[in-house]
Every structure is written in C-alpha cells, then in structure tokens.
C-alpha cells in the first residue's frame, strides 16, 4: 500500500514511474497483465473498469478516483482482492471491496 499526497493509504500498490505490468491478485488466482495491452480505464469513485486487449478488470469500492489517476499514469503494479475481513475495515481513504477479472469480449 502507498500513501497519497493527502496522507490516505491506498489499497493498491503503485511505483514512482511507469510499470511494465499490472498484477491482479485474486484470492484463488493471479493475473499478470502487460501495460502494453492496456486499452482504457473508466469509472467513478465507486467502480472502475480497466480494459486490456485480453481481459477486463473491474474494481468496486469507494474513493476510487485516485485509482483512475494512478492507472492513467500506468503506475499501478498490484491490485489485490481483499479478504473477507479486509472488506469491512473502516477508514476515510480509498477502499476496495471487490476485484474481478473477465476475458474481454
């Protein structure tokens, strides 16, 4: 986890510069998606969709606008699906409650 300029802890991992790939760690499966296949990201503070050539990643939670900013810079290196206990952690910053990956249409 990293901390943004406002001091909030982000529930995703970012690097200072662009990364080569995005690792999506689900509870029972891990995907490595190269940023070279990144098409676009869209969403709101509650849901973000990240489209790659082969897969779509959907992140649900709250305060996810900063995730969109990090995705735009291709700085996100790890998105982790929260465990059951992590979904209910209270806090004022961004939070992820669900991450899913599907093959692109």
Q: With 60 as the cut, is the pLDDT of residue 3 above it? A: no
Q: With 60 as the cut, is the pLDDT of residue 1 above it? A: no
Average confidence score pLDDT of the chain: 88
pLDDT at 63: 92
Token reading at 3: 């901390």
Q: With 50 as the cut, is the pLDDT of residue 21 above it? A: yes
Q: With 50 as the cut, is the pLDDT of residue 49 above it? A: yes
Bigger pLDDT: 60 vs 3: 60
Q: How many CA atoms lie within 13 A of 16 on its CB side?
A: 0
């Amino acid at each position: 986890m990293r901390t943004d300029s406002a001091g909030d802890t982000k529930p995703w991992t970012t690097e200072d510069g662009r990364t080569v790939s995005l690792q999506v760690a689900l509870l029972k499966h891990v995907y490595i998606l190269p940023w070279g296949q990144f098409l676009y990201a869209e969403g709101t503070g509650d849901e973000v969709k990240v489209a790659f050539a082969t897969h779509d990643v959907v992140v649900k939670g709250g305060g996810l606008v900063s995730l969109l900013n990090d995705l735009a810079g291709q700085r996100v290196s790890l998105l982790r699906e929260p465990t059951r206990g992590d979904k209910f952690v209270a806090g004022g910053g961004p939070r992820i409650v669900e991450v899913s990956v599907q093959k692109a249409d």
